[in-house]
Structure 1
Amino acid sequence: MSGENPTILCVDDEPPVLRLLEDALKPKQFDIVKAETAEQALEKFDSSRIDIVLTDIIMPVVSGIDLLEKIHALSPDTPVILMTGFADMEKAIEAVKKEAFDFLIKPFKLDQLIGSLEKALQFSRLARMEADYKRILEDFNQQIETLVAERTMSLMALTVADRIRNPAYVTRTVCKRLADREEMSVKVREGLELIGQQAEKLGKIVDEFQAFLKNTRSLFVYEDLNALVADVSSLIHKECIRKGVQLQTDLCKTSARINMHKNLMHVAIFHILQNAVEATPRDGWISVSSSVGPDTVLLKISDSGIGIAPEDIPRVFDPFFSTKRSRFGMGLSLVKQIVSEHLGRISLDSEPNNGTTFTLEFPVSWFGKFGV
């Protein structure tokens, strides 16, 4: 078994039928696992990676419909196609109720069988994609919770340093100078010394808080966004060559350092570039450019692809929305969340058949971003 072709578990109590199915499907790039009974089928289903089950209905001991129920008990999303030599309406209705993917009446044409298998394979892939997205979302949400907590602590540290330690230092210094004046009465001097002592305590509290943050391993690090974009572009370049799409990069020579979580930023940029490759036809182009301003770093990713309809643009960042047929659209929703967690903004400009441009904007400093 190659591991690359889809695998069909064919179940029929007549060996000639199994051989016929194998001879017909192998040239169509399907890998075949054969079973003559439902019991054998369950054993092989449990020990192999099966994409689709193709089973006869009339079999001894355990019928194909009973096998359908057992397969779905083990793997609810595995499509099961039922075959029968009898056009029995009751059996067909029962199959539909048990959520059979399709119902074929023997003898059927090869084109009919291939069409049914291709639809079932698409369904299987989409079901796995949905499961993968759910796992990604769970992991992503855990990381986001950690990032939000860390970002809150970092911003608190900046706020405390600017709004508490500095005034406390000034207060302590001024009180000391006033208390040293000879014309000050004893009572006023004692009051100034008390204020100075409390201001000194505030300064120590700030120092202890910042020392705590330094001992906490940060998930965000100031690094060059250009370097990360170059790494992601090199991964996408092979796919561009395979599809006949030109990848152009124009990254600014100035270091584009921002406070970022490298793994999450890698996911966001990779997904935008992968979308661009999928949307761009052969002989098209994808452009990646960056620029650095006084307060922000800009990253633009453009393509000459099919573009996005005006009515779809407001929804492209919504969970589960996709402009691709038969796709679950979680990617751009996650991209927006990642950009937001970096205190950035993402926007797009697109026209049908005229390409799309994504613009990502990140603050050079979180301190400046929040005005603290």
Structure 2
Amino acid sequence: MIEAGRVLVIDDDPGTCHTISDVLELHGHAVESATDGYAGLERLTATPVDAAIVDIRLPDISGLDLLRAIRASSPDTEVIFITGHGSLATAVEAVNRAAFSYLTKPFEMAQLVAALEKALEKRRLGRALRDSEARYRALVEGSIQGLSIHRGFAIEFANASLAAMFGYAGPPELIGRDLRVLVAPHEIPRVEGYAAACQEGGPAPSRYEFQGVRRDGTLIWVEALMSITSWWDGPALLVTFVDVTERKRLEDHLRQSQKMEAIGRLAGGVAHDFNNLLTVISGRAQIERARPELSEPSRRNVDLIAEAASRASTLTKQLLAFSRKQVLQPRVLDVDIVVAGMEPLLRRLIGEDIDLVTATEPVLGRVRADPGQLEQIVLNLAVNARDAMPQGGRLTIETANVELDEAYARQQADVHSGPYVLLAVSDTGVGMDAETQAHLFEPFFTTKGVGEGTGLGLATVYGIVKQSGGHITAYSESGRGTTIKIYLPRVEAASELREAEPEPVVLRRGSETVLLVEDDEAVRELTREVLEMQGYTVLAVADAGEAPGVLERSSRPIHLLVTDVVMPRLSGRELTERLRSLRPGLRVLYISGYADTAVVHHGVLDPGTPFLQKPFTPDALLRSVRKVLDGGG
């Protein structure tokens, strides 16, 4: 049954108005009437109706002119004309002007009721169609996904999201264009192949990633889904676009982080093994040099061996810095004071053709870092900047208090939001392209010539920053210079002064008993020999599991445990805990090529834990042992 409607009857014959009104009301319709055109139009304007039954001949206005007025004020109202003086020409004109129906008097009321119900049904269907189109348009236009419909590659439809995604003002700027203007030139052949496969029903991936190009030339990553759809008079290709640039960037960050972590593990392992070898080389060289009968030529050869070992030791320390496995001794520092103290050195280092500019925060927050390593960061960055400006330029060092918010932290692989101190080093040098920047912090990567650099400078900076809980980024363009930004967590504490280096003193000979646990035979034998030459009694074992038994069987008190950190069965920390359960208060000196997390937390030495970094010289070993035994460790 047709839903009842609101109906307006306009006829200059009051009897006809009443008759039609009574009949329609019997069928459930709400009816109003008027006996002239302007009165009817006034009622229609005040109260819109679903349908109007209009005599085509009225005393004040013609029915056709009234139809035009009704269409202007209420375009959804269906109009049925009735007349006693009809003609074919009038009927045709009425239909042309969008009247729904045309009845000639006299007519059966059933005819009028049927015509009205058809008019109301048409109006209902039209409204439903418009509502559906509005919902669909709202869905399409409001979608965060870009949508386009095209034949061949001509865009016939685009939504607002697609226009915004590619930097256009709105859909009209896209309609009529070739879809390939949205595709990066090097990707066009692949996209054409994908589109052809979709249109021909061939094999094609359900989703397809390619690089698109925005109106300003910026490249973005797009995920596209193509499918065949019906569009007006035939099939067309519907393409759904999703901007995945941010996702790709985060994936790249994660891959880079994982790659750097893997390289770091490799570098740390290599450095550890080399440190054992260098400990033996430098130690044996020092022992050999101390022999009084050594000839002068042999002494010079030994010195060359020691010098080479020292240079190699510097390289392994840089590898440890990159791998975040070096031992740090952090203090609360003011970065401004550190930078100011280095200015004379930096000016000599960069030369007269480079201007050094410092821009520091008036009240800079404090950071917790190893002062020597912080100086190493500034030094390495200054050297790198200097080498990027062979014709001279400007080196700028800036500091500032900054806040890294949650939005920034989410964009990075390993950054926490919060307060930081920014240390930025900028140059006006040659800059870097994207490929160079992708490898910037990798060890042994360098753009310098053979023999001009090790490729460890920025890798060292990267490792120190990460080990200190910080974050590092690089911004560069070819020909426009480079800025390295370092963010170190801000702490609420007063600065701690660096302890003055003690004056060298003549070491007294020892008489104590030392338990030495070292799994590397060459290092173990060297350490035992050096200690025994100084008067100590040494009980040396290779396996940490044997140490408790040696301690219990010893007929003399053991005054000091010297132990490696990383060993096959027990770590140095675990061994110390076990031995101290047998001999409370046992003093300990840790030695290692790098510090394991059992002794240091992320490479930061626990306060008060004596540690001797490999490679060490016999003199450094003896001083460390004496310091711990005398209560200074």
Q: Which has the higher strand share?
A: 2
Structure with the larger helix share? 1
What is the TM-score of this pair, normalised by structure 2? 0.29
Q: Which has the higher contact order (CA 8 A, sep 6+)?
A: 1
